[in-house]
Amino acid sequence: MKVLRTPESRFRDLAGYPFEPHYVHVGAGDGTGGRLRMHYVDERPADPVKESGQTILLLHGEPSWSYLYRHVIPPLVAAGHRCVAPDLVGFGRSDKPASRFAYTYQRHVDWLREAVFDRLDLRDVTMVCHDWGGLLGLRLLAEHPGRFRRVVATNTYLPTGDQDVGRAFHAWTQWSQRAEPFDAGSVVEAGTVGELSPAVKAGYDAPFPDETYRQGARQFPLLVPITAWDEATVPNRNAWAVLQTLSIPFLCAFSDHVILLPQAPNTDDPSYAVPNPDQWLRERIPGAHGRPHTTIAGAGHFVQEDQGPRLAAIVNDFIESTR
């Protein structure tokens, strides 16, 4: 497996991202015994007396990285919590296999599991999952429920290929394969209510010096199961069989704006409506029943960018109410 590593110079002086890097190594999963380096943020109160004893696992999605949580982490640390935000393989400061075929749904699950459980040994976790962070994190929740204390899901779900994902998703998939260039900063900006500054867009673009580094980001949309014959369909169905039995406290904090890429056609057409994963999660997971689910106003898909401190407050309140 040929592996690329983004030069450290790309991450110097990023806007609003002062966090020190940390690394673990996980098995490449290609049968050669090779290892991949995964980066993670690990922030906690400087004064041990102020520590709450709570660990929050913050999972990003496509095509972002831990930079997405730069406005969420500081208020949570100020509240006394430890925050761990990994960069998925292919993103951020983590290693990037050069071949798109190296990226599979199962390998992503395995890489993340090994990093946060086998290497970091995280327990009693409060998981905050967004976008692909949910597609991976909810699998981990189903397969290792004893590791989790509570979950906050935002703008994510766990598809099995049995549902209509909507024309908007298909439009996004087509755009992600054809766009040239495929700039992460522009994608994030298209999924926010407000405009991003050039410095912030540069922060999202930092992991990808050129197209060769973007193979993981290009591949992610194609890994979402959209038919009953997808390789992730059976594992995700099995995950749902477990999720529908879990009483672990589960909160949905979705945003109020669904924003598509500018290239998506006729976004007012009802046939482009995105299915309601918020309601789907609330109704099917026992731990979500009766919870104070909320809709975050003034936020697009990348709610952390539009309303990061608000999301942090919701997470902290949920922790305090479910201790």
**Which residues participate in catalysis according to the annotation?**
131, 269, 301
Question: Which residues, including other chains, have CB under 8 Å from residue 313's CB and lie 6 or more apart?
Answer: 75
How many angstroms separate the CA atoms of 224 and 51, rounded? 38
How many angstroms separate the CA atoms of 170 and 119, rounded? 36
How many angstroms separate the CA atoms of 255 and 308, rounded? 11
Provide DSSP, 108-138. HHHHHHIIIIIIS---SEEEEEETHHHHHHH
How many angstroms separate the CA atoms of 227 and 88, rounded? 25
Q: Which long-range contacts (CB under 8 A, 24 or more apart) does 163-169 make?
A: 163/275, 164/275, 165/224, 165/226, 165/275, 166/272, 166/273, 166/274, 166/275, 167/269, 167/271, 167/272, 168/258, 168/260, 168/264, 168/267, 168/272, 168/273, 168/274, 169/224, 169/226, 169/274
Question: Which residues, including other chains, have CB under 8 Å from residue 230's CB and lie 6 or more apart?
Answer: 161
